[in-house]
Amino acid sequence: MQKLIKEFLDYLRIEKNYSENTAVNYAADLKQFFELCQEKNNIKNLTGINIREFVVELTLKKYGKASIERKLATLKSFFSYLKKEELIDINPADNITFPKKDRKLPRFLEAEEMGKFLDSIKGSKVEDKRDRALLETLYSTGIRVSELTGLDIIDVDQVNKLIKVLGKGGKERIVPLGEKANRSIAEYLTARGQLPGSGALFLNNKLKRLDTRTVRHILDKWSKETKLGKHISPHSIRHSFATHLLDRGADLRSVQELLGHSNLSTTQIYTHVTKEKLKSVYDKAHPRA
């Protein structure tokens, strides 16, 4: 079994170009499934019943619907691989359906809140300029924090105000860069100066590529210093980016492209609107409002 799982994970890394983090998560899900599965010694004896029993066990252990859905997706992918490689005759996950999960509205800041927050990030030190540049870039582009930390200087076209982003699955996309973000990056790079051998755009104090954890710490720091009054994460900024575009008339397909979503349904969660906007639309549109 371990050999099959290893071959599957190698397939994900090499053929599907999945990240190491994703492969690690898949490995953990499979390990958990086979630890609970009574038929783990013979892969061909597995049936949909084993998978349903796994779901029941997860439910009893108070796993959330999103976690169960992810683990089921892992099993579906694993058994599809085995079927494709002709290692099993029947895919036991074929008729397994995902549990319906409650989709929570993503947290986001109002446009005015976001503007005040970003404008309040001041300071003349290189670190201050870096922080302002990376947070302006997050909001300007809506990219994921992992995509932000993966940026190299050559990925930024400051003349045309564009950045090249390497997204999930190794897919590249071009995203517009706003004027304030573009200017903040230029100020940061000028203050940073030339650093031989470093192609990364955002660096830590040891002149190494910034990691995602440090970006979250930076955001926490400025949230406290600017007295924002609420918790904000890199994903909150991404949510705010999408919400503000849609609120101002951007079409869903364009926002999908900008966010790098493969499915439109993933983008549709951002179509929530505030009560104030609903009332405004109603007042303008209804003849007897």
Same-domain check for residues 26 and 115: no
Confidence bin at 272 (pLDDT 50/70/90)? low
| Phi, psi (deg, nearest 5) at residue 37 | -85, 130
270 is catalytic: yes
177, 139: one domain: yes
Q: What is the pLDDT of residues 93-130, one digit of tens each?
A: 888 876 665 556 567 888 899 999 999 999 999 999 99
**Percentage of the residues of the chain whose pLDDT score is greater than 70:** 91
Number of domains in the chain: 2
Q: What is the span of the domain harbouring residue 37?
A: 2-84
- Can you give the CATH number for the domain in which 225 is found? 1.10.443.10
Indicate whether 135 and 254 sit together in one domain: yes
Identified catalytic residue from 192, 238, 239, 244: 238
Instruction: Provide the 3-class DSSP secondary structure of residue 113.
Output: helix
The residue with greater pLDDT, 246 or 99, is 246
**How many CA atoms, within 13 angstroms, populate the side-chain half-sphere of residue 249?**
1
Cα distances (Å, whole numbers) of residue 194 to 103, 197, 198: 46, 9, 9
Whether residues 48 and 142 share a domain: the answer is no
Mean of per-residue pLDDT scores for the chain: 87
Q: Does residue 259 sit within a domain?
A: yes
Q: Is 10 exposed, middle or buried (0-12, 13-18, 19+ CB in 10 A)?
A: exposed
Residue 239 annotated in active site: no
pLDDT tens column, 234-244 = 999 999 999 89
Residue 90 is assigned to a structural domain of this protein: no
Structural domain includes residue 30: yes
Residue 105 resides in a domain: no
CA–CA distance, 41 with 266 (Å, rounded to integer): 37
CATH number of the domain that 37 lies in? 1.10.150.130
**Per-residue pLDDT at 233 exceeds 80:** yes
What number of CA atoms fall less than 13 Å from residue 185's CA on the CB side? 27
pLDDT score recorded for residue 285: 81
pLDDT recorded at residue 265: 75
Residue from 129, 130, 132, 144 carrying the catalytic annotation: 144
Q: Does pLDDT of 287 surpass 70?
A: yes
Q: Is residue 103 part of a domain?
A: no
Query: At a CB cut-off of 8 Å and minimum separation 6, what does 253 contact?
Result: 264
52 catalytic residue (yes or no): no
Q: Which of these three, 84, 103, 120, is where a domain ends?
A: 84
φ, ψ of residue 57 to 5 degrees: the values are: -60, -40
Which pairs from 62-70 meet CB under 8 Å and 24+ separation?
64/101, 65/99, 65/100, 65/101, 65/102, 66/101, 68/99, 69/98, 69/99, 69/101, 70/25, 70/29
* φ, ψ for residue 63, nearest 5 deg: -70, 145
Catalytic residue among 70, 83, 235, 272: 235
CA distance 55 to 33: 9
- Amino acid type, 264: L
Query: Of 83, 168, 173, 216, which is the active-site residue?
Result: 168
pLDDT of 104: 61
- If residue 188 lies in a helix (H) or strand (E), which one and from where to where? helix 179-192
The question of whether 125 is a catalytic residue gets the answer no
What's the pLDDT score for residue 38?
A: 60
- Check whether residue 262 and residue 217 sit in a common domain: yes
pLDDT tens-digit readout, 136-164: 999 999 999 999 999 999 999 999 999 99
Residue 284 belongs to a domain: no
The yes-or-no answer on residue 284 being catalytic is no
147: tokens are 């995509």
Q: Are residues 76 and 15 in the same domain?
A: yes
Looking at the domain assignment, is residue 104 inside a domain?
no
**238 catalytic per annotation:** yes
Q: Which residue has the tokens 């720091």?
A: 221
